[in-house]
Amino acid sequence: MNLTLNVWRQKGPQDAGRMETHYLKDISPDTSFLEMLDLLNEQLMGEGKEAIAFDHDCREGICGMCSLVINGVAHGPQRATTTCQLHMRSFKDGDTIDIEPFRARAFPVVKDLAVDRSSFDRVLQAGGYVSVNTGGAPDANAVPIGKEEADKAMDAAACIGCGACVAACPNASAMLFVSAKVGHLAHLPQGQPERTRRVGAMVSAMDGEGFGNCRNYYECEAVCPKDISRDFIGEMNKDFRRAALGGR
């Protein structure tokens, strides 16, 4: 297939950036989206131009490093799929594809399509853990956890922290990410002692990073590569309300 690619180029955080158009020929539909960008980079370097910087690592949809907003949709057109797992068979010969970085004040562009998502780490540092030191744990089967609750915790824990939710939200809100992290521990007995403190601390940290406010658009849920449900946002709101009202 032959493609026209409009790609965001930005030299560094201070540069204004612009879209740049490139043409790519004879791409196999079995090529993954990132392999298509690899080919574009090989072509650019062959012409003596600098490669386009983009984040990627595992290329099997689990590390959460790949990003990109493809034709206006974070991680592209296929539901529940990361960019690295998206294949060119999702596009048609002759298509024009717009490729942009995740855009948010809390995700400043590092270069071209690569962004700095360390704001997520700082939110997690505020409370996304169970305070247990190595060595002090009781037997793993000492506290039974019903399968349904364990499964719910796992549904939330499946979050790969890619930031697509923020990229897709018209307000650049991080509520789906934060609620998935809060929800994971809220569904487990191990998470209970710090539950109230955790939700308050993580929401404050989230606000401090400059993410926008959730207005219940649910665009986040639509682009989440791990299908994290909006219900976790509702659950976090509930935890937050209880914490604010001084209840449990």
Partner 1 sequence: MNGLLASLGTSIGRKMVVAVTGLMLLLFVLAHMAGNLQVFAGPEALNSYAAKLQSLGPLLWAARLGLLAVFGVHVALTLKLASENKEARPTAYAHQTSVQATSASRTMVMSGLLVVAFVLYHLAHFTFGVVQPGNHELVETLADGTTRHDVFSMVVLGFQNPLVAISYVVAMALLCWHVSHGVQSVFQTLGLQSARSRDAVRKASLGIAALIFVGNASMPLACLLHLVDIPSGN
Partner 2 sequence: MQLDAKIPSGPIEQRWDDHRFEMKLVNPANKRKHSVIVVGSGLAGGSAAATLAELGYRVHCFCFQDTPRRAHSIAAQGGINAAKNYQNDGDSVYRLFYDTVKGGDFRSRESNVYRLAQVSSAIIDQCVAQGVPFAREYGGQLANRSFGGAQVSRTFYARGQTGQQLLLGCYAGLNRQIALGNVKMYPRTEMLDVVVVDGAARGIVVRDLVTGRIWSAAADAVVLATGGYSNVFYLSTNAKGCNVTATWRAHRRGAGFANPCYTQIHPTCIPQSGEHQSKLTLMSESLRNDGRVWVPKEPGDKRAPGQIPEAERDYYLERKYPSFGNLAPRDIASRSAKEACDAGRGVGPGGRGVFLDFRDAIQRLGKDVIEMRYGNLFEMYQRITDEDPYQVPMRIYPAPHYTMGGLWVDYNLMSTLPGLHVIGEANFSDHGSNRLGASALMQGLADGYFVLPYTIGHYFATHKPKPLDTDHEEFKRVEREVEERIARLIAVDGTRTPDSFHRELGKLMWNDVGMARSEKSLKHALSRIPELREEFWKDVRVLGGRSEMNTALEHAGRVADLLEFAETMATDALVRDESCGGHFREEHQTPDGEAKRDDENYCHATVWEYTGDPGKPNEHREPLEFEYVHLQTRSYK
What sign does the CA torsion over 62, 66, 71, 73 have? positive
- Output the smallest distance, CB 69 to partner 1, in A: 6
Question: What strand order describes the sheet that includes 73-74?
Answer: 18-24, 3-9, 96-100, 69-70, 73-74
Q: Does 113 bind partner 2 (CB under 8 A)?
A: no
Interacting residues with partner 2 between 115 and 174 (CB under 8 A):
116-118, 120-121, 124-126, 128-141, 143-147, 150-151, 153-154, 157-158, 160-161
- Give the x-and-dash track for 10-29 against partner 2 (CB under 8 A): -xx--------------xx-
What sign does the CA torsion over 97, 98, 104, 110 have? positive
List the single partner that 1 binds among partner 2, partner 1, none, CB under 5 to 8 Å by kind. Answer: none
- Output the smallest distance, CB 59 to partner 2, in A: 5
Tell me the C-alpha to C-alpha distance, in Å, between residue 135 and each of 113, 139, 217, 239: 42, 11, 44, 30
Q: Does 65 bind partner 2 (CB under 8 A)?
A: yes
- Give the x-and-dash track for 182-211 against partner 1 (CB under 8 A): --------------xx--xx-xx-xx--xx
List the single partner that 168 binds among partner 1, partner 2, none, CB under 5 to 8 Å by kind. Answer: partner 1
d(CA 183, CA 185): 5
- Take residue 168 and report the two structure tokens written for it: 């897709």
List the single partner that 15 binds among partner 1, partner 2, none, CB under 5 to 8 Å by kind. Answer: none
Element (H, E) at 38: helix 33-46
- Residue (of 126, 152, 161, 162) closest to 235 by Cα position: 152
Interacting residues with partner 2 between 190 and 209 (CB under 8 A):
190-191
List the single partner that 6 binds among partner 1, partner 2, none, CB under 5 to 8 Å by kind. Answer: partner 1
| Amino acid of residue 175 | M
